[in-house]
Copies of this chain bind each other. A is one copy, B any other.
Amino acid sequence: MQRINEDAILNFETRYRAQFINSITGFKSLGLVGSRSHEGNTNLAIFSSFTHLGSNPALLACIFRPDSVERHTLSNILQTGFYTFNHIHENIYQQAHQTSARYAREISEFDAVGLTPEYKNGFWAPFCQESFLQVGLELKEKIDITINGTIMVIGQVKEVYIPDNTLHPDGYVDVEKAQTLCCSGLDSYHKTKRLHRLSYAKTDKEVTFLT
Contact = CB atoms under 8 A, between A and B. Distances in A.
A173 B51 contact: no
Contact of A162 (B2, B167, B188): B2
Nearest to A154: B147
Given A24-B162, A173-B185, 13 more contacts: A1-B164, A3-B159, A4-B162, A18-B55, A24-B135, A25-B29, A25-B51, A25-B52, A28-B51, A54-B65, A93-B198, A102-B202, A185-B197
Contact of A55 (B21, B53, B90): B21
A105 interface: no
Contacts of A185: 172-173, 175, 197
Nearest to A54: B148
Interface in A13-57: 13-31, 48-57
Interface of A: 1-6, 9, 12-31, 48-61, 63, 65, 85, 87, 90, 93-94, 97-103, 107, 112, 121, 132-135, 140-141, 143, 145, 147-148, 150, 152, 154, 156-164, 167-168, 170-176, 180-182, 184-203, 206-207, 210
What's the number of copies of this chain in the assembled complex? 2
Contact of A26 (B19, B26, B29): B29
Contacts of A28: 27, 29, 51-52
24 contacts: A4-B160, A6-B158, A12-B171, A16-B171, A17-B55, A17-B56, A18-B55, A20-B172, A22-B52, A22-B55, A24-B133, A26-B31, A26-B180, A27-B180, A28-B51, A52-B63, A90-B195, A93-B198, A102-B203, A152-B152, A172-B185, A188-B194, A190-B193, A191-B195
B17 A171 contact: yes
Contacts of A5: 121, 158-160
Summarize A's interface: helix, strand, loop or mixed.
mixed
